[in-house]
């Protein structure tokens, strides 16, 4: 089987509010040139964000004009379309050059469903006390799920006639479209790469969820007190800095329980949203039945560890934990160094006739700086996905790494484990940088050589 090469479109082309103004006309002309070059290279599909905040500014009132034009240009170029149902905010993440918020009505509607009426209850609230506007909190997923499904259904109904040109529908599951907490995002201070990030579980709903989890596990407060040894109150760490410094996340039953809950909350959110997408897009008689459903899982590769003469030496791994990707134990090879559970989630979601594709980032990054084990991580995820028969594709984490030939070498080295690559972005792959153009051409040539059986 050949490796499928896809490319990401710009966050937006031109001005969505002025489709025919001079600025947009210039941008669309350049986009068409890039599409033509991508087609000549052998690219299969173009991914585009379908921003919830652009389409549904008023509840159940959808404006698809920009996406009608965008999909027309892609299809006219002879390429397939992958729509990313982007339920997250654009702006504030690495590479963001455009801003679009979630629809305003979403926050007010969800706040009205909370007894306190506090809108921050349905947002991620960090250990610093800051609320994130990037994505509805995983502890509020049940409250917003019908709105997600309505958006999914509206997308399917509107674009049903273009079914033959749509090869995947990708579902945003968190900040930057990834299944993670906003642990290293801009609403907090001093939490960006390569720090540990910040815990994001201090909202009203998150706190209540942790209480419910603990009481379900231990039955009573006294049961929890007996298991934990000391218990003043069931709550997330009051002083995360001291908690981590004292290795409470590893040495205390409280810490292990806390991170089990923290990760499982995120995985359950992913399970609910992807199940809703499957219900809409893959049920019998649906216009998009049989089309792949995809979701992104991030490569949080720093503070992981290093290799000492080939021997794996793990570090504190706090960045992965605050992002919700792994728990504080179960880091052995059998558990895929903490990642077996998330890959098992994708395995559970596979349906007859519909694949659920795991997209993993950071395929171009190397081990080394800031205790990065990116190269190892890419292979852990790919091998385990193959073992569990989970379709897996990858992408580069950063566009500027495409200007380095060594990054392309690492991308090529992953082809045996990943059935597809998505290059971020089309303008970098076919643009003015000589290295990126040459290496992209080489990648496409290699990918289109049939693999040995």
Q: Is the pLDDT of residue 306 over 60?
A: yes
Percent of the chain residues past pLDDT 70, beyond the cut: 98
Q: What pLDDT, in 10s, does the model give residues 198-249?
A: 999 999 999 999 999 999 999 999 999 999 998 889 999 999 999 999 999 9
**According to the model, what pLDDT value does residue 165 have?**
99
Element (H, E) at 4: strand 4-8
Alpha helices (runs of H) in 125-252, residue ranges in sequence order: 141-159, 204-218, 221-228, 240-245, 248-251
Rounded CA separation 303/320 (Å): 8
Residue 177's pLDDT band (cuts 50, 70, 90)? very high
Report the percent of the chain where pLDDT is more than 90. 95
Query: What is the model's pLDDT at position 231?
Result: 83
Rounded to the nearest integer, the mean pLDDT of the chain is 97
Report pLDDT digits (tens) over 127-149: 999 999 999 999 999 999 999 99
In this predicted structure, what is the pLDDT of residue 106? 99
Per-residue pLDDT at 1 exceeds 50 = no
Q: Average pLDDT in the 281-291 region?
A: 97
Check pLDDT > 70 for residue 451: no
pLDDT of residue 232: 84
Catalytic residue list contains 334: no
Average pLDDT of span 299-314: 98
| Predicted confidence (pLDDT) at residue 452 exceeds the cutoff of 70 | no
Q: Residue 327: pLDDT above 70?
A: yes
**Mean of pLDDT values over 297-326:** 98
CA distance 200 to 266: 11
Angle at 302 between CA 298 and CA 304, to 5 degrees: 100
Q: What are phi and psi of 330, to 5 degrees?
A: 75, 45
Of 168, 364, 395, 439, catalytic: 395
Strand, coil or helix: what is 10?
coil
DSSP for 340-367, written as a single string? HHHHHHHHHH-BTTB-EEEEE--TT--E
**What pLDDT is attached to residue 91?**
85
DSSP code string of 385-451: HHHTT--EEEE-S-GGGGGSHHHHHHHHHTTTT-SEEEES-HHHHSSS-HHHHHHHHHHHHHHTSPP
- Give the mean pLDDT of 352-370: 97
Is 56 among the catalytic positions?
Answer: no
* Residues 155-178, mean pLDDT to the nearest whole number: 99
**Domain ranges across the chain:** 4-190+266-447
* Catalytic residue, candidates 178, 320, 384, 439: 178
- Please report the DSSP string for 86-113 in residue order: E-S-BSSSTT--S-BPPPHHHHHHHHTT
Residue 44 predicted with pLDDT over 80: yes
Closest residue by Cα to residue 222 from 235, 211, 231, 213: 231
pLDDT score of 52 more than 50: yes
User: How many angstroms separate the Cα of 31 from the Cα of each of 14, 25, 69, 77?
Assistant: 9, 10, 12, 10
Band (pLDDT 50/70/90 cuts) for residue 62 is very high
Q: For residue 447, what pLDDT is reported?
A: 86
**Mean pLDDT for the stretch of residues 74-85:** 99
Mean pLDDT in residue range 372-391: 99
pLDDT of residue 394: 98
pLDDT at 453 over 50: no
pLDDT of 176 reads 96
Reported CATH class of domain 4-190+266-447:
alpha beta
- Rounded to an integer, what distance in angstroms lies between the CA atom of residue 201 and that of residue 258? 10
Q: What is the pTM of this model?
A: 0.97
């Amino acid at each position: 089987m050949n490796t499928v090469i896809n490319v990401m479109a710009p966050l937006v082309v031109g001005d969505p509010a002025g489709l025919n103004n001079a600025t947009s006309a210039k941008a669309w002309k350049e986009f068409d040139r890039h599409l033509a070059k991508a087609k000549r290279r052998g690219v299969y599909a173009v991914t585009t964000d379908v921003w919830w905040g652009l389409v549904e500014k008023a509840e159940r009132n959808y404006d698809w004009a920009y996406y009608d034009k965008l999909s027309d240009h892609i299809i006219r170029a002879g390429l397939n379309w992958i729509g990313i149902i982007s339920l997250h905010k654009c702006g504030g993440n690495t590479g963001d050059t455009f801003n679009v918020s979630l629809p305003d009505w979403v926050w007010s509607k969800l706040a009205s469903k909370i007894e306190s009426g506090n809108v921050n209850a349905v947002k991620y609230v960090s250990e610093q006390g800051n609320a994130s506007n990037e994505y509805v909190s995983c502890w509020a997923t049940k409250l917003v799920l019908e709105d997600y499904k309505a958006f999914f259904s509206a997308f399917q109904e509107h674009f049903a006639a273009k079914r033959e040109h749509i090869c995947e529908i990708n579902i945003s599951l968190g900040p930057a479209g990834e299944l993670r907490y906003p642990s290293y995002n801009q609403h907090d201070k001093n939490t960006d790469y390569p720090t540990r990030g910040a815990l994001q579980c201090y909202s009203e709903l998150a706190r209540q969820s942790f209480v419910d989890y603990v009481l379900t596990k231990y039955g009573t407060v006294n049961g929890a007190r007996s298991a934990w040894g000391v218990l003043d109150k069931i709550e997330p760490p009051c002083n995360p800095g001291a908690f981590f410094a004292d290795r409470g996340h590893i040495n205390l039953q409280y810490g292990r329980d806390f991170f089990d809950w923290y990760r499982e909350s995120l995985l359950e959110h992913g399970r609910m949203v992807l199940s809703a997408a499957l219900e809409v897009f893959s049920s019998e008689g649906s216009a998009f039945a049989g089309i792949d459903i995809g979701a992104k899982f991030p490569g949080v590769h720093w503070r992981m560890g290093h290799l000492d003469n080939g021997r794996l030496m793990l570090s504190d791994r706090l960045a992965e934990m605050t992002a919700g990707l792994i728990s504080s134990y179960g880091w052995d090879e059998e558990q895929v160094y903490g990642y077996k559970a998330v890959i098992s989630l994708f395995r559970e979601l596979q349906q007859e006739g519909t694949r659920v594709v795991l997209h993993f980032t950071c395929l171009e990054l190397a081990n080394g700086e800031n205790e990065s084990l990116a190269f190892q991580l890419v292979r852990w995820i790919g091998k385990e996905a193959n073992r569990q028969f989970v379709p897996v594709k990858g992408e580069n984490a950063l566009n500027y790494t495409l200007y380095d030939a060594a990054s392309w070498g690492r991308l090529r080295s992953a082809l045996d484990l990943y059935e597809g690559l998505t290059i971020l972005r089309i303008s970098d792959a076919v643009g003015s940088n000589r290295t990126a153009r040459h290496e992209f051409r080489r990648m496409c040539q290699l990918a289109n050589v049939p693999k040995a059986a």
